[in-house]
Amino acid sequence: MHEDAEGVQDSGPRGPGYRLREARDRRGLSVGEVARSLKLDAKVIAALEGDDYAALPAPIFVKGYLAQYCKLLGLPADECIAEYERGIGGVAPPPLVLRRAAGEEISPGSSPVMLVSWLVALLAVVMVVLWWVASPEPEPVAATPVVERPAQRPVVVDPTPPVPEVEARALPRATVPAGVPASAPDQTRVRFEFEADSWAEVVDATGRRLFFDLARTGRVIEVSGVAPISVFLGNAPPVRITVDGRVFDQSRYVRSGNVARFMLGDDVAQATRR
Amino acid sequence: MFNSLRGFFSTDLSIDLGTANTLIYMRGKGIILDEPSVVAIREEPGRGGKVIEAVGADAKRMLGRTPGNITAIRPLKDGVIADFTVTEKMLQYFIRKAHGNSFFRPSPRVLVCVPYGSTQVERRAIRESAQGAGARKVYLIEEPMAAAIGAGMPVDEARGSMVLDIGGGTSEVAVISLNGIVYAASVRIGGDRFDEAIIAYVRRNYGTLIGEATAERIKHEIGSAFPGEEVREIEVKGRNLSEGVPRAFTLNSNEILEALQEPLSGIVGAVKTALEQTPPELGSDVAERGIVLTGGGALLRDMDRLLMEETGLPVVIAEDPLTCVARGGGRALELFDEHGGVFSFAIE
Where would I find the beta strands (DSSP E) of chain B?
Answer: 13-17, 21-26, 30-36, 39-44, 49-55, 70-73, 76-77, 80-81, 109-114, 137-142, 161-166, 171-177, 180-187, 208-209, 233-240, 246-252, 291-294, 315-317, 346-347
Q: What is the ipTM, given to two decimal places?
A: 0.84
Query: What is the spatial distance between Cα B314 and Cα B285, in angstroms, rounded to a whole number?
Result: 12
Interface contact flag, B339 A98, Cβ < 8 Å = yes
The one-letter amino acid code at A234 reads G
Interface contact flag, B156 A100, Cβ < 8 Å = no
Place A1 in a pLDDT band, splitting at 50, 70 and 90: very low
pLDDT at A108: 56
Interface contact flag, B318 A60, Cβ < 8 Å = yes
Q: Which residues of chain B are at the A interface, by a Cβ-Cβ cutoff of 8 Å?
A: 149, 151-156, 178-179, 288-290, 292, 304, 308, 312-319, 331-332, 335, 339, 342, 344
Query: Which residues in chain A are closer than 8 Å to B313, comparing Cβ atoms?
Result: 39
| B9 three-state secondary structure | coil
How many contacts, defined by CB atoms under 8 Å, are there between A and B? 80
Interface contact flag, B156 A96, Cβ < 8 Å = yes
Query: What is the spatial distance between Cα A210 and Cα A214, in angstroms, rounded to a whole number?
Result: 13
Interface contact flag, A68 B154, Cβ < 8 Å = no
- Report the 3 state secondary structure along chain A: CHHHHHHHHHCCCCCCHHHHHHHHHHHCCCHHHHHHHHCCCHHHHHHHHCCCHHHCCCHHHHHHHHHHHHHHHCCCHHHHHHHHHHHCCCCCCCCCCCHHHHCCCCCCCCHHHHHHHHHHHHHHHHHHHHHHHHCCCCCHHHHHHHHHCCCCCCCCECCCCCCCHHHHHHHHHHHHHHHHHHHCCCEEEEEEEECCCEEEEEECCCCCEEEEEEECCCCEEEEEEECCEEEEECCCCCEEEEECCEEECCHHHECHHHCEEEEECHHHHHHHHC
Place A207 in a pLDDT band, splitting at 50, 70 and 90: confident
pLDDT at A173: 45
Choose the weakest-confidence range: B100-104, B155-159, B226-230, B235-239: B100-104
Choose the weakest-confidence range: B63-67, B112-116, B291-295, B307-311: B63-67
Q: Are A214 and A199 in contact (CB under 8 A)?
A: yes
pLDDT digits (tens, 9 = 90+) for A119-159: 999 999 999 999 998 886 655 554 444 444 444 455 555 55
Query: What is the spatial distance between Cα B189 and Cα B168, in angstroms, rounded to a whole number?
Result: 8
Adjacent-strand bridge partners of A241? A192, A248
- Smallest CA–CA distance, residue A9 to chain B, in Å, is 24
- Going by C-beta distance under 8 Å and a sequence separation of 6 or more, which residues neighbour residue A194? A200, A215, A216, A217, A218, A219, A220, A221, A238, A239
Adjacent-strand bridge partners of B43? B50
Q: Percent of chain A at pLDDT above 90?
A: 13
In terms of Cα–Cα distance, which of B22, B113, B175 is closest to B333? B113
| B274 three-state secondary structure | helix
The residue that leads in pLDDT, A183 or B6, is B6
Q: Percent of chain A at pLDDT above 70?
A: 65
Please name the residue of chain A whose CA is at the shortest distance from the CA of residue B156: A97
Closest by Cβ to A93, choosing from B152, B289, B339: B152
Q: Does the pLDDT of residue B229 top 90, yes or no?
A: no
Interface contact flag, A39 B149, Cβ < 8 Å = no
- For chain A, give the mean pLDDT: 75
Q: Does the pLDDT of residue B336 top 80, yes or no?
A: no
Q: Does the pLDDT of residue A261 top 50, yes or no?
A: yes
Closest by Cβ to A64, choosing from B316, B331, B332: B316
Query: Which residues in chain A are closer than 8 Å to B149, comparing Cβ atoms?
Result: 96
In this structure, chain B runs to a length of: 348
Domains, in order of start, for chain A: 2-134 (1.10.260.40), 182-264 (2.60.40)
Interface contact flag, A40 B314, Cβ < 8 Å = yes
Query: Which residues in chain A are closer than 8 Å to B319, comparing Cβ atoms?
Result: 60, 63
